[in-house]
Amino acid sequence: MLRVHAFGLALGALLAASLSAQASTKWEDLDAAQKTAARTSQPIFMAVIMAGMGGPDVNFDKLRERTAKDEDAAIFVKATVNIGRLDMADGMAGGSGWTQNPELVEKYGPLGTCAVFAPGAKKPLWRQESGITRDDVFKNAREAWDAWRKELEALEREAKENKDAKKDPDYHARRAEAWAKGKDGAKATGSMDEAIKLLKKADKADSRIETWTLRAANIALDCGDAAGALARFTEFLKDFKEAGAENRARAEYGRACAMLDTGDPKGALKALEGIKDPPKDIQDGMAATREKATKKAEGKK
């Protein structure tokens, strides 16, 4: 009886190990992987591939073969973004009719790009073009993830060791910047909002209130929350009418970027036109945004 029980336990352990190995080598599309990551709190490793009508993606097949043997790969939920698309014009011109989707390339990177997403993040905290062909890509991805988590863990230890840390606006601002590095917009802006709340409670005239309010809007934009960023930039321009000309220009520029990202290129162009004497640090960005918004408004890709 004992031997039967021991055999059952061993068989159960073997099946569990087999299922674990299957789970660690499974690849999902990014949407499914994000749901898995939200449930398991694991980071996502994403590879940009091009497979389907154009045939298999050989480089991805090689990467997938390495997944089961690579210890660094085990911590990740694995995901793919397929940038291939049917293109009738390409086929009519004598091509294969299977080309790269430019919108997906712009969003996720060119073919072969690899990236790491934190659970819940809309943008990657790490990205490596042509990473799919590198033998050390999982190692690099894990190092990037571990470095970011180490920074957050240090802040968590600080709060445990210093009971007054959570009453300090600077602590919450540093925490916001750490979450921003991981592209977790909700946690980053939440931390910055808490920092601003503490500042207002202590001194409503504190100049950091203006600076951090604008920073929170930029964090939302950088982390992929265009709608949230648009609301924040609009509120900043309403609440800080006496703000310096440079900060108002930066807020107008951010609002234009958010409009473009929410599908309003004409609104973005109008917002850009209203910026007078922009500071040097946003001039190049304004030019690029204007060019992109003009193409979108004209229906070009």
Higher-scoring residue by pLDDT: 115, 97: 115
Instruction: Give the C-alpha separation, 235 to 239, whole Å.
Output: 6
The pTM for the full model equals 0.85
Cα 96 → chain centroid: 32
Q: Which two tokens stand for residue 295?
A: 């193409």
Q: For position 17, what pLDDT does the model report?
A: 38
131-138 LR contacts (CB < 8 Å, sep 24+): 131/47, 132/47, 132/48, 132/49, 132/59, 132/60, 132/63, 133/59, 135/66, 137/63, 138/45, 138/66, 138/67, 138/70, 138/72, 138/73, 138/76
Q: Of 298, 217, 295, whose CA–CA distance to 253 is shortest?
A: 217
Higher-scoring residue by pLDDT: 300, 22: 300
What pLDDT band is residue 187 in, cutting at 50, 70 and 90?
A: very high
Residue 216 and residue 229 in contact, taking contact as beta carbons nearer than 8 Å? no
